[in-house]
Amino acid sequence: MAGSLVSVRGVRPELLTSSKSSDGEFLSYKTLQPGEPAGVGEGCCALAVMAKAPRPGKVKTRLSPPLTPEQASALNICFIRDTTENIDQVTEGSNCAGIVVYTPIGEEAAFDGLLPRGFQLLRQRGDGFGERLLYACEDLFACGFGAVCLIDSDSPTMPQAALSQAVAWLARTGDRVVLGGSDDGGYYLIGVKRMHPRLFERVDWSTERVLAQTLERAREISLETALLPTWYDVDDAATLERLRRELSPAAGEAAPNSAASNGAGYDAKHTRRYLESLQAQQIADARRPAFTASNSW
């Protein structure tokens, strides 16, 4: 495929810029304890990213190949930076705050310098994915938030308008669940105003049935549902190529057939720059003469 991304050597760390304090030190972030006040105003909505510490071989493993584990980890860092910066821009005009709900415990330092100023951390707990989502909601409500949106870290170009709409819907009177569906059958965002454990029960996680089953659980408890625009996760080579085409289409190459083609997607600048650096390295590698006996000493 013309312009497609394949594995190349090396990672250019200068492209993975980090947040620093005024004295040049990497920013670190407060880790909330369940029940500890988060210092937010009444009714504040938590925009909480569910994230793993970005370590090679531990994140985005389905992207290796075409990427190396180190490249996949570097790309994951870009995803986290773009997603949290997107959220940070939403918080500037809304009653909401940015949180990263992370795993594993003890890896707090992996996020140093990656997040905007003012973000806070919260440890994930629970055994399965459904439990982790449920307990994240429980812990954030216990920290004083009036509403909670849990957001995946695999959709760096999710529309900023979708995040703003989720906050607005949750600020309205009446109870509801807000869902942003992914086109693989899952969801990139779930937002609630109170605890609804049923939403996380009897769901076949990591399958194409997740969104449909969550909607069914909402109907079972007569909970109003609000749906955001469908988007996509980046978790394999095909969706990585889709992301590359969305952010940096080659000359004459059509943008993906999605809302992103209408300019609705977030300009994930860290991800875009990193993918462009990988492509530049790929081109340089292709042009490098092969070593043969005739050009050796």
**Which pTM value belongs to this model?**
0.87
Superfamily of domain 40-235, CATH level 4: Spore Coat Polysaccharide Biosynthesis Protein SpsA; Chain A (3.90.550.10)
d(CA 184, CA 231): 9
Residues 6+ away with beta carbon under 8 Å from 257 = none
pLDDT in tens, the chain (297 residues): 334 444 333 344 444 445 554 455 567 899 999 999 999 999 999 999 999 999 999 999 999 999 999 999 999 999 999 999 999 999 998 999 999 999 999 999 999 999 999 999 999 999 999 999 999 999 999 999 999 999 999 999 999 999 999 999 999 999 999 999 999 999 999 999 999 999 999 999 999 999 999 999 999 999 999 999 999 999 999 999 999 999 987 655 555 544 444 458 999 999 999 999 998 887 777 777 655 444 432
Provide the token pair at 226.
């609000």
Per-residue confidence (pLDDT) for residue 285, from 0 to 100? 75
Tell which residue, 54, 53, 91, has the closest CA to residue 71: 54
Tally of CB atoms within 10 A around 250: 13
Task: Compute the distance between CA of residue 90 and CA of residue 167 in angstroms, rounded to an integer.
Answer: 9
Task: Please tell me the predicted confidence (pLDDT) of residue 13.
Answer: 40
Given the structure tokens 């795993």, which residue do they identify?
103
Residue type, 277: S
pLDDT value, residue 254:
56
How do the domains of the chain map onto residue ranges? 40-235
Q: What is the pLDDT of residue 295?
A: 43
Q: Can you give the pLDDT at residue 3?
A: 43
Give the model's pLDDT for residue 256: 58
Is the CB of residue 4 less than 8 Å from the CB of residue 241? yes
Query: Which pLDDT value is given to residue 287?
Result: 75
CA distance 155 to 135: 22
